[in-house]
Amino acid sequence: MLYLFSYSDLNHSLFIFLALFFVLFYEAINGFHDTANAVSTLIYTRAMSAKYAVIMSGIFNFLGVLFGGLTVAYAIVHLLPNDLLLNGSSKNTLAMIFSMLLAAILWNLSTWYFCLPSSSSHSLIGAIIGVGLTNAIITNSSLINALNIPKIINIFISLILSPIIGLIISGILIFLLRYFTNKNKKFYRIHMTPLERKKHDEKKSPPFLIKIALIFSSIGVSYAHGANDGQKGIGLIMLVLISIIPANFLVNLNASKKEIFYTKNAINHFQKYYLNKYSKKVKNNYKNLNNQLLSYQSDIIQNIKEANILLKNVHNYNILSIKQRFQLRHFLLDISENIDQISNLNISKKEKIFLKQIKQHILLTIEYAPIWIICIIAFALSIGTMFGWKRIVITIGEKIGKRSMTYAQAMSAQITAAFSIGIASYTGVPVSTTHILSSSVAGSMLADGKSIQINTIKNIIFAWLLTLPISMFFSGLLYWVALSLI
């Protein structure tokens, strides 16, 4: 990590340090802001004391970051076009980074102070969009090219649908639990609140099997939260380093010969596939497909050709000049986009799987993160988890429903959140842990025929609707002010 500062003057080193500090501070806030998602049900069902629940959540957040992969991290990195990251001056880049981070941090702290379960993902994505749009306005460039529109649309869809899915699935789980437990009177206690349990059995804690289920579902949410939200922190640091120190981070300078070979091999496989399927010899058989491909057919062939020239006889990226590293990153990302375009055509499932594997190997040496980055993000998230959690926990545990949470409701909400966030992390989709858990709690209570506190739900929805536009406005304003001052 110290090598980051060895090639820079004092001012540049200070900016790098501050940028990393801002990212870690954002991730720590993310930790205590979103901790309620994993521990509120444990605390309010008395399955575990607050102190031990928070420590456990911190540990599994840490593990989730370590083993969660990088698909979500680079979904964040690729929100901004590659040219915007690398073609500006160092001062513009610094202004962009600090504006995004400060806007996201201010909104997260504000919603935490007012006990509102708000989404750290929303605030970060809004801040990135705000910077991209402001840059386009200032430079008089196209608003359409200011952002990676397809990726933003996919993320918007996931952010809108995930709370709705959480509410529905959690409600279905409650119906199933009611159906099966009503036939077996031994399990009636699963639908008790802790107070009802105390009155009926004179015991404070839930029954043993229910307690185990609650603890394991909470572990699942903590791990999934670490995997999804931790990756956002990793993506932020890579965004910072690619922007500020491109020479060291455009490509993985520590990539092995084997990894570089996989990248070369994948390009060659894609070239053979493309020429075989879309060459002139078979154009008539794929007339409809080729009409869609004509507009960028020459670009695909040119990108493959240029990437092969750059990678010829290369077994170590350190021998490439900075300009060549930039070009290689550019061509590999363009080939990746070409693969996405072809995958969206009417081709077989087998071909789509093949293209997905090819894409992974092509991006192997540019979608990476050094282990020290993963470790410091894991540490920041887990430390943040152990502080400041109480304000949001109270909202989740006490202010969504008019009555206390039953064990069944807690289990349904936790299981729904753990699986939803886990699947999103695996598929590389940034989702809001907060909104999935909040909607799951509300869904379980509605399915159980219990009233919810409308004012709390209104406040959560209000914060959900405001997060994107306010984050966009703040980051855009900060970026404009910063550029005016430098």
Question: For 127-131, 242-246, 364-368, 426-430, which range has the lowest pLDDT when averaged over its residues?
Answer: 426-430
For the chain, domain boundaries = 11-247+370-485, 253-362
Q: Is 48 helix (H, G, I), strand (E, B) or coil?
A: coil
Measured CA to CA, the distance from residue 446 to residue 435 in angstroms comes to 16
Measured CA to CA, the distance from residue 175 to residue 446 in angstroms comes to 10
- What are φ and ψ of residue 452, in 5° steps? -115, 160
Model confidence at 5, pLDDT cuts 50, 70, 90, reads: low
Q: Report which DSSP code applies to 284.
A: G
Measured CA to CA, the distance from residue 86 to residue 357 in angstroms comes to 27
Q: What is the pLDDT of residue 3?
A: 55
What is the arithmetic mean of pLDDT over 84-109? 79
What is the arithmetic mean of pLDDT over 203-223? 85
Token pair, residue 6, equals 């060895």
Measured CA to CA, the distance from residue 437 to residue 395 in angstroms comes to 12
Hey, what's the torsion of the CAs at 246, 247, 251, 252, to 10 degrees?
Answer: -120
Question: For 56-60, 133-137, 232-236, 452-456, which range has the lowest pLDDT when averaged over its residues?
Answer: 452-456
Say how many C-beta atoms besides its own lie within 10 A of residue 154's C-beta. 15
Say how many C-beta atoms besides its own lie within 10 A of residue 458's C-beta. 10
Measured CA to CA, the distance from residue 394 to residue 119 in angstroms comes to 17
Q: pLDDT tens digits, residue range 465-477? A: 888 889 999 999 9
Cβ contacts of 91-96, under 8 Å, gap ≥ 24: 91/486, 92/483, 92/486, 93/243, 93/244, 94/15, 94/19, 94/244, 95/479, 95/482, 95/483, 95/486, 96/131, 96/135, 96/243, 96/479
Enumerate residues 6+ apart whose C-beta is below 8 A from 408. 174, 177, 178, 181, 190, 191, 444, 448
Inform me whether the pLDDT recorded for 452 exceeds 80: no
pTM score, whole prediction:
0.81
Measured CA to CA, the distance from residue 280 to residue 289 in angstroms comes to 12
**What is the rounded radius of gyration, in angstroms, for the C-alpha atoms of the chain?**
24
Q: Are 469 and 126 in contact (CB under 8 A)?
A: yes
Q: What is the pLDDT of residue 281?
A: 45
CA 296 to chain centre: 30
Measured CA to CA, the distance from residue 232 to residue 157 in angstroms comes to 18
Measured CA to CA, the distance from residue 131 to residue 481 in angstroms comes to 12
What is the arithmetic mean of pLDDT over 221-250? 85
State which amino acid sits at residue 370: P
What is the secondary structure of 186-200 as a DSSP string? GGGGGG--HHHHHHH
Model confidence at 132, pLDDT cuts 50, 70, 90, reads: confident
Token pair, residue 230, equals 């931790």
Q: What is the pLDDT of residue 19?
A: 84
Q: pLDDT tens digits, residue range 384-438? A: 877 766 666 666 655 565 567 788 888 888 889 888 888 887 777 777 777 787 7
The residue written with tokens 């501070």 in the block is 25
Q: Is 309 helix (H, G, I), strand (E, B) or coil?
A: helix
| Max avg pLDDT among 19-23, 29-33, 340-344, 446-450 | 19-23
Enumerate residues 6+ apart whose C-beta is below 8 A from 89. none
Q: What is the pLDDT of residue 35?
A: 65
Q: Closest by alpha carbon to 80, among 296, 242, 245, 246?
A: 242
Q: What is the pLDDT of residue 282?
A: 44
Rounded to 5 degrees, what angle do the CA atoms 471, 474, 479 make? 120
Q: pLDDT tens digits, residue range 254-295? A: 999 999 999 999 999 999 988 887 655 445 444 554 454 455
How many CA atoms are closer than 13 Å to the CA of 127, on its beta-carbon side?
28
Q: Are 123 and 107 in contact (CB under 8 A)?
A: yes
Q: pLDDT tens digits, residue range 287-325? A: 554 454 455 567 788 889 999 999 998 999 999 998 899
State which amino acid sits at residue 331: F
Enumerate residues 6+ apart whose C-beta is below 8 A from 450. 401, 402, 403
Cβ contacts of 134-143, under 8 Å, gap ≥ 24: 134/475, 134/476, 134/477, 134/479, 134/480, 135/84, 135/88, 135/96, 135/479, 138/480, 138/483
Percent of the chain with pLDDT over 90: 16
Question: For 203-212, 231-240, 361-370, which range has the lowest pLDDT when averaged over its residues?
Answer: 203-212
Q: What is the pLDDT of residue 279?
A: 59
SS3 content of the chain, % helix, strand, coil (to 5): 80, 0, 20
Q: What is the pLDDT of residue 310?
A: 92
Token pair, residue 75, equals 């979904």
Q: Are 407 and 214 in contact (CB under 8 A)?
A: yes
Q: What is the pLDDT of residue 117?
A: 66
Q: Closest by alpha carbon to 89, among 15, 144, 23, 149?
A: 15
Token pair, residue 298, equals 């020459």
